[in-house]
Amino acid sequence: MSGPTPGSLDGGSLKALVDVDRGVVSREIFVSEAIYRQELERVFARAWLFLGHESQIPRPGDYLVSSMGEESVIVCRDASARIRVFLNSCRHRGMKVCRYDEGHTVEFQCPYHGWSYGTDGALVGVPFAKDAYGAQLDRSRWGLIEVAQMKNYKGTIWATWDRSAPSFEGYLGGYKLYLDLLLDAWDGREGGTEVIGGTHKWLIPCNWKFPAENFSGDRYHGVSHRSVDMVGIGPSGKGRRDMGERNQARWLDVSFPDLGHSMIAFLRPHDAPLAPAYQDAPIVADYFRHCEEERKRRRGAEWRLFGGPGTMFPNTSPLARQPRTIAAWHPRGPHQTEAWRWYLVDADAPAEVKDFLRQYYIRYSGPSGLTEQDDMENWNYAHAASRGTIARQYPYNYEMGLGRATSAFEDHGLKLPGVINDVTEANASEHNQRGFYTRWRQLMEAESWGEIATP
Ligand code: FES
Ligand SMILES: [Fe+2]
């Protein structure tokens, strides 16, 4: 993963395209084929990427097929229950050895000539091996290609192809506090979440950075969701009140520009009473009320902090409020994104609560979700309208909230990590998007991890 990429854009050209200090970003980075190829090599082949959740593959032999950049990978539990991640490509002629989305198996047999691989990646079967190869084939050298590093973090599975990439903990850095808002139980216990209902997968005709930067911190697009809000099922709808969410929180744009991660977090007033339990769905309301009491007891000063949408660089977006989901924006060429979304619930929540959330999630997010459909319309048309010969000569504007951020945020004794733009008065900023593109440019410029400072 090191060494210069032939024909790659150097630091000077990238700085001209992405000027975060002035808040100006060229449309080229969304539509250019050359930049896209460089992203696959310098971002997606190096970064830690989210692949799936351990609750999807509970038993040895369970597997799911996921994606790293454009490439298909198998995520499976081997016979010893260890989670392994392999490139989904046969070592003989490259055939996709697993063509299902998920399942259970003792081995992966290549459909082309029949080589087969164990769930530990070892080449275990070669048709007519003795006659065809004699003693020549050294099977130990021809197992499936395995990722360089893999991490199971509170049930979420991550991997990178780059041996020299920082550890997952180093890559996550201070963002841990915010990612944990998604992965810890709603009542403040560590971990305890599971995926329900499989994975939604769909195509959006836009560059992968449209959804990644929108989730990183676009609080400015409320107008897009006005119709769903008017009928009470949008971002400020009644469903959230049932789950104890209220709107008088203080909104914070939290960015880690030297990591690329960000989140819109919200902070309840320090003297906020517990949210009232709405009675339309009493079991649900009681559950969330109970969680809030427990959370307050367990989390101390941090109980007031809730997560909104965010993006963990480059292409994973936790949405740590309700709907509680995690998305991966898989690049499929400069002009297309394959969106995958997983839905999380507390593993030990009552069945009524899980069912309430399942219906709320489907109505809100994913291809059937009315709120997410609003977003997709924007990305779809924005991308198409940015591709043309004339359009791509004019940059986008990211000036909102420039120069307002602080890395010493404190509120009634609660200190929070990250560079924070308190958007209470301004209502919104593009602080998080600028952080995302700061890191994007660093990775695109650097020829190896060795050149990039990771705090
Ligand atoms: S391509 Fe897999 S066995 Fe030939
Ligand atoms: Fe949106």
CB atoms within 10 A of CB 374: 19
Q: Which two tokens stand for residue 193?
A: 């979440």
For 192-243, the DSSP string reads BEEEEEEEEEEEESS-THHHHHHHHH--S-GGGGHHHHHTT-STTSHHHHHT
Ligand 1 atom nearest residue 110's Cα: 2
- Assess whether 315 and 429 both reside in one domain: yes
Mutate to test the pocket of ligand 1, among 86, 92, 139, 145 (most ligand atoms within 8 A of CB): 92
- What does each C-alpha distance from 144 to 74, 101, 103, 275 come to in angstroms? 10, 18, 18, 52
**Domain co-membership, 348 together with 407:** yes
For ligand 1, say whether the CB of 95 is within 6 Å of any of its atoms.
Answer: yes
Asked if the structure places residue 162 within a domain, the reply is no
- Do 121 and 185 share a domain, yes or no? no
Q: Do 256 and 138 have their domain in common? A: no
Residue 170, ligand 1, Cβ within 6 A? no
Return the ligand number nearest the Cα of 96.
1
Output the six-digit token pair for 149: 């590093």
Tally of domains in the chain: 2
Q: For residue 97, how far is its CA from the centre of ligand 1 (angstroms)?
A: 8
Residues 6+ apart with CB under 8 A from 132: 126
CA-wise closest residue to 250 among 421, 95, 382, 125: 421
d(CA 340, CA 202): 7
| Residue 244 CB partners (closer than 8 Å, separation 6+) | 274, 275, 277, 285, 288, 289, 291, 292
Q: What is the extent of the structural domain holding 288?
A: 173-451
Asked if residues 119 and 106 have their Cβ atoms less than 8 Å apart, the reply is: yes
Task: Cite the beta strand spans of 231-350 per DSSP E.
Answer: 250-256, 261-267, 305-311, 316-319, 325-331, 337-346
| Residue 32 covered by a domain | no
Residues in the chain: 455
Edge-to-edge strand ranges of the sheet holding 123-125: 107-109, 116-118, 123-125
Per-residue pLDDT of the chain (455 residues; tens, 9 = 90+): 444 455 678 778 899 999 999 999 999 999 999 999 999 999 999 999 999 999 999 999 999 999 999 999 999 999 999 999 999 999 999 999 999 999 999 999 999 999 999 999 999 999 999 999 999 999 999 999 999 999 999 999 999 999 999 999 999 999 999 999 999 999 999 999 999 988 999 999 999 999 999 999 999 998 999 988 888 878 776 667 667 666 567 889 999 999 999 999 989 888 877 766 666 788 888 998 899 899 999 998 899 999 989 999 999 999 998 899 999 999 999 999 999 999 999 999 999 999 999 999 999 998 889 999 999 999 999 999 999 999 999 999 999 999 889 999 999 999 999 999 987 767 789 999 999 999 999 999 999 999 987 66
Q: Please indicate, yes or no, whether residues 224 and 99 belong to a single structural domain of this protein.
A: no
Co-location of 180 and 278 in the same domain: yes
What does pTM read for this prediction?
0.95
Mutate to test the pocket of ligand 1, among 110, 124, 133 (most ligand atoms within 8 A of CB): 110
Give me ligand 2 centre to Cα 180, in Å: 22
Nearest atom in ligand 1 to 115's CA: 3
